[in-house]
Amino acid sequence: MNSPTQLKQLIKYIEVSATSRDMFVTEFTLFIGELEKKVIAASDSAREAITDDLGNRQFVA
């Protein structure tokens, strides 16, 4: 670093990078949460659809 201006520019780059990372992590967390909800809902409906002739639920491991 040769000047305060260069230091300010470097700090700005770090700030933009950190903000970008935070936005990515937030969006990724929401995406994974929604995906988990879909997987759970799909597995729940599949379990309910599997029944024997007497209407008893048959769970597949």
The pLDDT tens digits for 7-41 are 999 999 999 999 999 999 999 999 999 999 888 87
Predicted local confidence at residue 9, as pLDDT: 95
The reported pTM is 0.60
What distance in Å separates the CA atoms of residue 25 and residue 32, rounded to the nearest whole number?
10
Structural domain total, the chain: 1
Please tell me which residue, 13 or 2, carries the higher pLDDT value: 13
Average pLDDT of span 34-50: 75
- Residue closest to 50 by CA, chosen among 41, 59, 61, 42: 59
Predicted local confidence at residue 47, as pLDDT: 60
CA 23 to chain centre: 12
Boundaries of domain holding 16: 1-61
Q: 58 pLDDT exceeds 60?
A: no
